[in-house]
Structure 1
Amino acid sequence: MKVLVCFVLSYIACAYAGSLPSFITPCSRSDPNLNECVEKVISAAGAKFTEGIPELGIAPLDPVELGTVVVNNPALKITFTDTVVTGLKGFRVNTYKINPEKGKATLDFTANVTLKAHYDMNGQVLILPIRGNGQSKIKITNLNIVVKYDFEEKDGHWIVPSYKDHYKMDRAQFKFTNLFGGNKELAQTTERFTNENWEIIMSEIAPPALNQIIKKCVDQVQKFFAAIPARELLP
Structure 2
Amino acid sequence: MLPPYIEKCSKSDPNLNKCLDRRATDAAVKLRDGNKDLGIVPLEPFIITKVDLGNVTSGAVSIHQIYENMKLFGMTNSTMTDSDANFSGDQCYWKYTCLTPAVRMESDYSMKGRLLLFPINGYGKCTNYLYDIEGRYEATCERYTKKNKTFFRVSDFKFQMKPKRIVFDFENIIDGNEQLSKEVVKTLNENAESVYEDVGPAFNEVMGTVWKQTLNQVFNRVPEEELFLP
**TM-score over 0.5 (shorter chain):** yes
1:77 is matched with which residue? 64
1:171 counterpart residue number: 165
- d(CA) in 2 for partners of 1:147, 1:81: 24
Question: Shift of residue 29 of structure 1?
Answer: 2.6
Shift of the 229–24 alpha-carbon distance from structure 1 to 2, 3 Å rule, reads closer
Query: Structure 1 residues 223, 191: closer, same or farther in 2, change over 3 A?
Result: closer
Q: TM-score, normalised by structure 2?
A: 0.82
Matching residue within 187, 209, 220 for 1:193: 187
Stretch of structure 1 that moved more, 214-223 or 166-175: 214-223
Distance 1:157 1:124, change over 3 A: same
Q: Which moved more, 1:200-209 or 1:156-165?
A: 200-209
In 2, are the aligned partners of 1:70 and 1:208 still within 8 Å (CA)? no
* Secondary structure of residue in 1 paired with 2:167: strand
1:120 maps to what in 2?
A: 110
- Do the aligned residues in 2 keep the contact of 1:50 with 1:88 (CA within 8 Å)? no
Moved over 6 A (4+): none
2:14 is aligned to 32
Deviates more, 1:178-187 or 1:26-35: 178-187
Three-state SS of the structure 2 residue aligned to 1:79 is strand
Q: Does 1:159 align with 2:153?
A: yes
SS at match of 1:160: strand
TM-superposed deviation, 1:122: 2.5
Tell me, which stretches of 5 or more residues in structure 2 are unaligned? Answer: none
Which of 102, 108, 111 matches 2:97?
108
Aligned length: 217
Structure with the bigger RCO (C-alpha within 8 Å, sep 6+) is 1
Provide, for residues 133-167 of structure 1, a one-character-per-residue CA deviation record: whole Å limited to 9, x for no partner.
21111111122111122223112321122233433
CA RMSD of aligned residues (A): 2.3
Give yes or no for contact 1:51–1:60 (8 Å, CA) kept in 2: yes
1:129 is aligned to 119
1:52 deviates by 1.2
Q: Secondary structure at the match of 1:199?
A: helix
CA contact (8 A) 1:62 1:89 kept: yes
Alignment of 1:89-108 (within 5 A): 89-101=76-88, 102-108=91-97
Letter paired with 1:180: I
Q: Which moved more, 1:132-141 or 1:97-106?
A: 97-106
Using the alignment, how far apart are the partners of 2:226 and 2:124 within structure 1?
Answer: 50
1:66/1:212 contact within 8 Å kept? no
| Offset of residue 110 of structure 1 | 1.9
Residues 184 and 162 (structure 1 numbering): CA distance in 2 closer, same or farther, change over 3 Å? closer
Amino acid at match of 1:109: C
Match of 1:21 in 2: 3
Of residues 94-103 and 179-188 in structure 1, the stretch that sits farther from structure 2 once superposed is 179-188
TM-score where L is the length of structure 1: 0.81
Secondary structure of the residue that 1:23 maps to in structure 2?
coil
Report the CA distance between 1:90 and its aligned residue.
1.0
Q: 5+ unaligned residues in a row in structure 1: which ranges? A: 1-18
